[in-house]
Amino acid sequence: MTPRVCVIVNPAAGRGRGGRMLPAVRAAFSAVGVGDVRTTTGPGEEGDLARRAIAEGCTTLVGVGGDGTWSNVAAAILAAGADCRLGLLAAGTGNDFAKTVGAPARDLAASARLAVEGPDRHVDVGTVEGHTFLNIAGFGIDIAVLEELGRVRWLRGDALYLFAALRQLFGYPGLEVEVASPAGRRGGGRHLMLIIANARRFGGAFHIAPGADPADGLLDAVSVLDAPLLGRFRLFGAVTRGRHGAHPEVRTEQAARFTLRFPAPPAYETDGEYRRAQSRELEVACLPRAIRIVTPVPAVM
């Protein structure tokens, strides 16, 4: 059965890149017979548009934006209990999830063809406090970097995140957190960063969980313990190359769920979306193979 395709565009993604892409998006999808292109008018509206499209019978939704846009559409699909596929078209800052699943998210024509006639793969979804994520949930310096992004107006894409991260290396005070899994409880400690990853990369250039498989029913917890400034720079360089696992400040573990305990409710992010926790104890869990992603290659490259 030919899928009924709806394209959901976030014009604000990538500091307006989504809006600038809109004419080309319409043309590419029109060329494959798809004319249902809808645009958001405010933050988080992707979910509303996705729910409406599902109710109208759409069976493939294409998110045009970044990791946050894709997660918002995925959340709507899950909430609706719909057997609906998600296609990825990159217009955001990092667009990291597409890199792990191998979707040609920067190729308009290829993405349009795949949405109409391409294969898909079932992949896992992460959850925390009722929020879903396809890529990562981040704590610690990740939040300071997210806040820094809003203050830097003269860079875009991967370079923007790298610049913001380098600036925060100098002054970030660290975060106390204890990580527990069904296998046991680690000692607490001051962290530079804690990432719970479903996929391999975040921030454009950071290979945070090189061994992550988004279809294995597990999440990867990557704890980067705090270090003096020189050590922070060493860790920063190692993470960009995916070689941080051998450093003594880095602890990694795979599990279907993790319990995180903080001295106070922390700020955190899910796929670039800023959150404020409701509790000092959070459970981060994996929903195995919960959603279908349109992609032409196996889920891990």
253 is catalytic: yes
* 244 in Cβ contact with 250 (< 8 Å): yes
Rounded to 5 degrees, φ, ψ at 61 are: -110, 130
**Which of 253, 269, 273, 281 does the annotation list as catalytic?**
253
Residues facing 189 on adjacent strands: 177
Q: Which of 89, 84, 74, 83 is nearest to 13 (CA)?
A: 89
Question: Residue 158 and residue 167: Cα distance in Å, rounded?
Answer: 15
Is the dihedral angle over the CA atoms 92, 96, 100, 101 positive or is it negative? Answer: negative
Residues labelled catalytic:
253
